[in-house]
Amino acid sequence: MSEKSYKLRAREVADDTKYPKNDEHYTPKIVFDRTIGHADYDPATTEDKAKEFGINIFDTIETDGLTTDWAVFNRIWINPPFTLKKEFVRKAIKTVNENEECSIFVLLPIESLTTNWFYDVTVGYDLFIPRGRIKFEDPRNPKAKSPTFGSVIVKFSNYARNEIINFNMQYCEKDGL
């Protein structure tokens, strides 16, 4: 989907059009705290989530984070709408190439691991794979279940270092293995 299409979609959402259910998965704070801790900017969030995470500069679907210059920030967190993940990943790579001090953490569905595009764009970057599935939040339906897929966090940065992140199992769904 092009950036122009994203703008059109943002207008539709602003007009109370239902946003696809599979894009409404909000990150629990513990996941943010254990992977990045703090961020200067989030281009794909809600005002409430930005406030919860202590992020003062952010964009929502209505303000279209794909049109903002990310290169002015040094630490960026993104849980993009999964239907627009490629657009956000492309912009993340472009940004770390423009700002060598920038680190961008992008939360993606783990199914991406098995695709050619994912392999091609993540070689040389850090991957954080949680043990179990993240229990995402849906403020419209607090009893909603998490998606049926796992997640991976990619750290786009010019300084790769391998880290293992352990989430408390109460924040992940057990997969029965």
Q: Which of 59-73, 104-118, 160-174 is the least confident region? A: 160-174
Place of tokens 């599979």: 22
pTM (two decimals):
0.78
Instruction: Identify any residues that bridge with 105 across adjacent strands, giving them in sequence order.
Output: 77, 155
What pLDDT sits at residue 75?
Answer: 97
Neighbours of 136 (CB within 10 A): 19
Q: How far apart are CA 75 and CA 42, in angstroms?
A: 9
User: 3 falls in which pLDDT band (50, 70, 90)?
Assistant: very low
What pLDDT sits at residue 15?
Answer: 36
The amino acid at 12? E
pLDDT digits (tens, 9 = 90+) for 23-46: 678 899 999 998 899 999 999 999
| Tokens standing for residue 60 | 């929502």
Q: By the 8 A CB rule, do 114 and 45 touch?
A: no
Which residue, among 93, 62, 89, 63, has the nearest Cα to 78 in the 3D structure?
A: 89
